[in-house]
Amino acid sequence: MYFPDFVEIGVDELLLIAFFVSFIGIIIHYVINILPIGNLKTVSLESSQSKAPVSIIICARNEDDNLTEFLPKILVQDYPEFEVVVVNDCSIDNTENVIDEFAKIFPNLKKVNIKEDDYYKHGKKFAVMVGIKGAKYDNLLFTDADCFPASEHWLEEMSSGFVNKKEIVLGYGAYKKEKGFLNKLIRFDTFLIAVNYLSAALKGSAYMGVGRNLGYKKELFYKQKGFSKHYHIVSGDDDLFINQACTQENTNVVISPNAITYSLAKTSFLDWKRQKLRHLTTAPHYSASSKTKITMAYVLQYAFHILLLSLLLFKTTILIGLSAFILKICIQMIIFKKVSKKLNEVDLWAFAFFHEIILLMVYPMFHISLLFNKQNKWKN
């Protein structure tokens, strides 16, 4: 009986196969999970339904400087009927005085005070709940005290998302462009996270939002029993609530230059690290499907770059590896250029591949630090 000779597959060939699997997976990820934002067509405001009244909720703890600078940009929004509810959460600076002074000028500004309690310590979620309870209207829009809208039409743009029975409106909360490498890295990290969750929402599988630019209906909040499922977790007043409340039908995305909010990025690596650690505490509490999607994207990236380095060790695969890497960069630049233009981040696409690699090196440091980090207070 004839048995064909068995052809042994070498290590370099096995690495090459795994490398191409990761390469194809990344390209599919770019097309499916990032490109949809670039293809999103902005709906004309004239075609939206009548402008329903909106309550804007801002939670502030020792934010007198930020409120002095940014609150007027919220109060002068060009919109028929809205109120701004500022929750003064146990501030010990001049936050309350700042709110009171602005209230003399703007009758639609409402102050809600939370006093310090020696027997009951609370996080931001309690402040958000107090703000929601004090809000007059069903349509709620959230931002932070250190944020400012891109224009006086921010409220108009974001509220237009409450159409066709939509109960959740996701927007883009960006960081202001400043000089320096860290600023660009933070902005790229924020941009990358945003395009993933906004694209997921466009496909009917939303899994998070950010409190810097987010809206939902008060009725939905009470229907979901508020933050009861994750109140014991310090952070997550935004992403964890959206993760539990979003459905394929109830979530909308609003993307336009006017609908963006901006805040000032951290200016030191340690401050950024602390901020990231606060955000990372919520990810383990996402739904299983959400965690799988997020994890898979990072696994593909790590696999691709580790396998690329391995292929460079073999003469037979070095050219193939470099060619695939260049092709990946080209495809990435084409897609990211389109998406960054949509989110008004046009300076980020050219070196996206470089910032992506830096983040892949930094993220493990954050996750290791998270093991030794305890969160005991809220902060934006």
Using an 8 Å Cβ cutoff, are 193 and 295 in contact? Answer: no
Report pTM: 0.89
Closest Cα partner for 128 from 141, 115, 146? 141
Residue 110 pairs with which residues in a beta bridge? 85
Strand bridging mode 261-263 / 147-149: antiparallel
47, two tokens? 């075609």
Q: Give start-end residues of each CATH 3.90.550.10 domain in the chain.
A: 43-268
Q: CA-based angle 61:62:63, to the nearest 5?
A: 90
Question: Which residue's structure tokens are 């499907």?
Answer: 289
CA 175 to the chain's CA centroid: 11
The architecture that CATH gives domain 43-268 is: Alpha-Beta Complex (3.90)
Report the 10 Å Cβ neighbour count for 198: 26
10, two tokens? 């070498």
User: How far apart, in Å, are the Cα atoms of 367 and each of 316, 325, 373?
Assistant: 36, 27, 10
Give pLDDT tens digits for 263-289.
Answer: 999 999 999 999 898 888 888 888 888
Give the separation between CA 217 and CA 323, rounded to whole angstroms.
50
Using an 8 Å Cβ cutoff, are 183 and 266 in contact? Answer: no
Give pLDDT tens digits for 181-190.
Answer: 999 999 999 9
Give the separation between CA 169 and CA 48, rounded to whole angstroms.
14
**How does pLDDT run along the chain (380 residues), one tens digit per residue?**
455 554 566 677 888 899 999 999 999 999 999 999 988 876 544 444 568 999 999 999 999 999 999 999 999 999 999 999 999 998 899 999 999 999 999 999 999 999 877 667 788 989 999 999 999 999 999 999 999 999 999 999 999 999 888 999 999 999 999 999 999 999 999 999 999 999 999 888 888 999 999 999 999 999 999 988 888 887 888 889 999 999 889 999 999 899 999 999 999 999 999 989 888 888 888 888 888 888 999 999 999 999 999 999 888 889 999 999 999 999 999 999 999 999 999 999 999 999 999 999 999 998 888 887 655 455 55
Per-residue DSSP letters for 161-183? T--TT--EEE--EEE---SSHHH
